[in-house]
Structure 1
Amino acid sequence: MHKLLRQGLVLQFLVLLFGALILPVQARVISDLYEVVEAVPSRGATDRASAGSRGLERIFMRVTGDAAIGSNPNLQPILQKAQHFLEGYRYTSEDNQLYLHLSFDPQAISRQVHQLGLPMWPNNRPGTLVWLAVDTLKEGRSILREEDAPELFSVLDAMAVERGVPLDFPVMDLNDQHNMPLGDLWAQSEQAAERAGLRYRPDATLMGRLLQASGRRWQADWLLLHGGRSYAFDSNGGSLEEVALRGVNQMANLLAQRYAVRPGIEDAQQGSIFVELSGVDSFADYAEASAYLQGLAQVSSANLLSVEGDRMRLALSATVGLRNLRDTLALNHKLRAHGDEDAIELNGHRAPLGSADNPLRYRWD
């Protein structure tokens, strides 16, 4: 009996140990993208209508990825009829403040986004690992940890919910401190980000260095690493929280620009984009892969062309260009891209990637 107990404790320890070693930060489907909470002064119909308009504007910002969508004149009449998009609402109260919880109809909003010709950012979004370093007038440079700045991380979490971007923060234990020392974080070393990210496997990494220039002036430099590319930008503000929020907001703008489906996009590839999946060993694999591709917002149809052994070939009608489609497929960690080194040569020229002769090749793991 004691031996079994000891074995059980060892097993629990190993589970905890390996769970701490690999903490994946991967793309997630945002389930509450169409839900918001608004503070209201009363339960009256007028206050509820006003809160509905404000809440609907926030929803449009999330689903389009456009932080300035509220200034679009074509949207104003829609916001005044927010009740037409409601699925339900309820009230709660906390610390003598009344809150209205609003749930909006995803399909109705999607139709309206399409009718207005707005971009549509699907709810499968890249998980981003955020590393922050700060330099204050009083204490100098240090790496920011959640336990040291709970208010800051709380407002960043709120911004993540507001924009619909999943954020995660390193645990900053000895492992992280070794892989991402302060000097490398302040220098925004891409090599250190790659090394430290092996533990978390994020879809994107955001590195920020926040500098207190004076008592009321903060500035920050940011580096977003995603999909083999880097994006540098800066932000300014009157407080640590403000400058950090602006940085995360700009990060959300960049990701939205990359993944939002834009109607009538000029570089959209004409005709079908062909995809070949290997590793489809069972009907369950086939059904799951087919459902995934057909469910993508960037794909209007997915037609099965053939199944041979463990390989299936499909023709996708995409609403985005080839590059954006590949970026989207890269968010699914069950898809492992194959190189195009074996592309068929036609008359001495390589067939275009995504064509019938040179399909996008992935393995379904």
Structure 2
Amino acid sequence: MRLIYLSVLAAALAFASTVQAASVVVPDLYTASTYTEGRGDSARAAGLRQTFAKVLVKATGSDAVLTAPQTELLLERAPDLVTIYRFDPLPAPQTSEPDAEGSTSQAPPSEVYRFTAEFEPRTVQLLLRDAGLSPWPARRPLTLLWLTLDRGDIISGEQRDEVQAFVDEAERLGLPLVFPSMDLTDQQAIQPADIQGFFPEQILQASRRYDPATVLVGRLERDGSLWTARWAMLERDASAVRWQNSDPALAVLLTQGAQALGSQLLARYGIGTDQAGASQAIELAVSGLRTLSDYGRVLNFLNDLPPVSTVTLRRARADAVVYQLHTTASREQLRQSIALGRVLMPADEPAAENLLGPVAPMAYRLNR
């Protein structure tokens, strides 16, 4: 499934809350496909290994998982973790081969199958954590792309094929994207010159209707045989993280752009931080808990935060609870990760004074 959300989603997001960054649940994170010759035991074993490697990349949002020393042991577990798989036959191309007399004849077609496998999400997540790796929850930040190609028009959702390499790489990494619809509203709000000149206030103003978590601006230009891309990941305060790269091949440039976006997002949310690194304890005060279901919902949410290794209950009074989170992420990275889930909202008022420890907890309330 293409992780491209076009004008229909954009219109819906226009009415979304702007209190917290927009996020979407990425489908099929633990499903992947590859191709095999035949459907015997060896083809099945190879297919499971290849699809599980793809799932690990999507689950963590990074290729780095494939080079981790623990990954080989994880790949060996693929047959134990698969929940369903199938072989779908594909038409094999006919090839001509010369015979002994030099004439050509049709070689017998090989049996080519599309192999699809689905793996058990919770078990994979637990194994990744046990291996010191950080799985990324299915709810992920939505990135809005403002791109111009060779000083042309802004790329809309209907023109995404022009930057398909970026789309494909983002999908491989499990990064949800949205392109502007470039309808009349967009055309009145922003022009290609705003992208090429990089006017952050104008770009952010035009982005509000989409309520993205991240705004990525890209200006791709060709000079002779060389393409150059200038990228900027905009923050809501109009500050930006910038980088650029050049390559003769536009597809390579676009692929690198999607990879850099993924790296920036992982850093922003503290995902992929070295789990063996220095850990700190951060307290989180949550108010608005009324039922056992509320307590369970919050505890499960906190345990699933990628940069969090353990969660313990510190103290409680009335409907407010203080949790202690052990994490290698900073408070700001943790705040960004919490905002994505939309389970907790920043508290309007700080927690009661008698709940505060030596360092004031981060104050939140349950979102109902």
TM beyond 0.5: yes
Paired residue for 1:329, among 334, 338, 345?
A: 338
Change over 3 Å in CA distance of 1:48–1:121 after alignment to 2: same
Partner of 1:44: 40
Contact 1:212–1:218 (8 Å) recurs in 2:
yes
Change over 3 Å in CA distance of 1:150–1:359 after alignment to 2: closer
SS in 2 for 1:103: strand
Q: Displacement of 1:70 after TM fit?
A: 2.8
Supply the distance in 1 between the matched residues of 2:320 and 2:296 (Cα, whole angstroms). Answer: 11
After superposition, residues 16-31 of structure 1 pair within 5 angstroms as: 19=12, 21-22=14-15, 26-31=22-27
Partner of 2:155: 144
Contact 1:36–1:103 (8 Å) recurs in 2:
yes
Change over 3 Å in CA distance of 1:360–1:16 after alignment to 2: closer
Partner of 1:110: 125
Change over 3 Å in CA distance of 1:315–1:342 after alignment to 2: closer
Query: Once structures 1 and 2 are overlaid, which stretch shifts more, 243-252 or 95-104?
Result: 95-104
Change over 3 Å in CA distance of 1:313–1:66 after alignment to 2: same
Supply the distance in 1 between the matched residues of 2:29 and 2:228 (Cα, whole angstroms). Answer: 31
SS in 2 for 1:47: helix
Return 5+ residue gaps in structure 2 as ranges. 1-7, 93-111
Contact 1:146–1:153 (8 Å) recurs in 2:
no
Q: Displacement of 1:90 after TM fit?
A: 0.8
SS in 2 for 1:165: coil
Change over 3 Å in CA distance of 1:51–1:219 after alignment to 2: farther
Partner of 2:234: 225
Supply the distance in 1 between the matched residues of 2:76 and 2:359 (Cα, whole angstroms). Answer: 51
Q: Displacement of 1:246 after TM fit?
A: 1.6
SS in 2 for 1:142: coil
Partner of 1:208: 218
SS in 2 for 1:331: helix
After superposition, residues 254-333 of structure 1 pair within 5 angstroms as: 254-259=264-269, 260-261=271-272, 262-266=274-278, 268-270=279-281, 273-278=282-287, 288-299=297-308, 300-303=310-313, 305-308=315-318, 312-321=320-329, 322-333=331-342
Q: Displacement of 1:169 after TM fit?
A: 1.0
Structure 1 position 158 matched with structure 2 position 168: yes
Structure 1 position 64 matched with structure 2 position 64: no
Partner of 1:186: 196
Report the aligned-residue RMSD.
3.5
After superposition, residues 65-80 of structure 1 pair within 5 angstroms as: 65-76=61-72, 78-80=74-76
Deviations 1:78-128 (A, max 9, x none): 435532332221122456562110112334433443343334333332111
Q: Displacement of 1:223 after TM fit?
A: 0.8
Query: Once structures 1 and 2 are overlaid, which stretch shifts more, 23-32 or 235-244?
Result: 23-32
Identity, in percent, stands at 24
Whichever residue aligns with residue 325 of structure 2, its letter is S
SS in 1 for 2:63: coil
Q: Displacement of 1:238 after TM fit?
A: 3.5
Contact 1:340–1:358 (8 Å) recurs in 2:
no
After superposition, residues 121-132 of structure 1 pair within 5 angstroms as: 121-132=136-147
Query: Once structures 1 and 2 are overlaid, which stretch shifts more, 17-26 or 43-52?
Result: 17-26
Supply the distance in 1 between the matched residues of 2:351 and 2:246 (Cα, whole angstroms). Answer: 49
Change over 3 Å in CA distance of 1:31–1:21 after alignment to 2: closer
Whichever residue aligns with residue 266 of structure 2, its letter is A
Whichever residue aligns with residue 263 of structure 1, its letter is Q
Whichever residue aligns with residue 205 of structure 1, its letter is V
Supply the distance in 1 between the matched residues of 2:199 and 2:214 (Cα, whole angstroms). Answer: 15
TM-score normalised over the length of structure 2? 0.76
Contact 1:53–1:80 (8 Å) recurs in 2:
yes
Supply the distance in 2 between the matched residues of 1:227 and 1:120 (Cα, whole angstroms). Answer: 26
Contact 1:236–1:246 (8 Å) recurs in 2:
no
TM-score normalised over the length of structure 1? 0.77
Contact 2:220–2:230 (8 Å) recurs in 1:
yes
SS in 1 for 2:341: coil
SS in 2 for 1:198: helix
SS in 2 for 1:265: coil
